[in-house]
Amino acid sequence: MTLDQAPAPPVPQPDPDSAPYWQALREHRVVVQRCAACGVHHFPPTPGCPHCGHPDVTWVEVPATGTVYSYVTVHRAFDPAFADQVPYVIATVDLDCGARVIGRLTGPAAIDARVEGEFADHPEWTELRFRVAAASS
Q: What is the pLDDT of residues 71-94, one digit of tens each?
A: 999 999 888 988 999 999 999 999
Give the whole-angstrom CA distance, residue 132 versus residue 58: 29
Q: pLDDT at residue 2 above 50?
A: no
Report the predicted TM-score, pTM, of the whole model to 2 decimal places: 0.89
Give the integer Cα–Cα distance in Å for 52 and 33.
13
Q: How confident is the model at residue 99, as a pLDDT?
A: 97
- Stated as kind and residue range, the H or E segment containing 16 is none
Report the SS3 class of residue 77: coil
H helices of the chain, in order, are 19-26
The residue among 79, 68, 47 whose CA lies nearest residue 112 is 68
pLDDT digits (tens, 9 = 90+) for 93-107: 999 999 999 999 999
What does the pLDDT read at residue 8?
Answer: 78
Share of the chain above pLDDT 70, in %: 94
What does CATH list as the number for 63-137?
2.40.50.840
Whether 136 shows a pLDDT value over 60: the answer reads no
pLDDT at position 46 is: 93
pLDDT at residue 69 greater than cutoff 50: yes
Q: What is the DSSP letter of 72?
A: E
pLDDT value at residue 134: 82
Q: What residue segments make up the domains of the chain, in order of their start?
A: 15-62, 63-137
Is-contact 38 79, C-beta < 8 A? no
Q: Under a CB-based contact definition with an 8 Å cutoff, are residues 17 and 59 in contact?
A: no
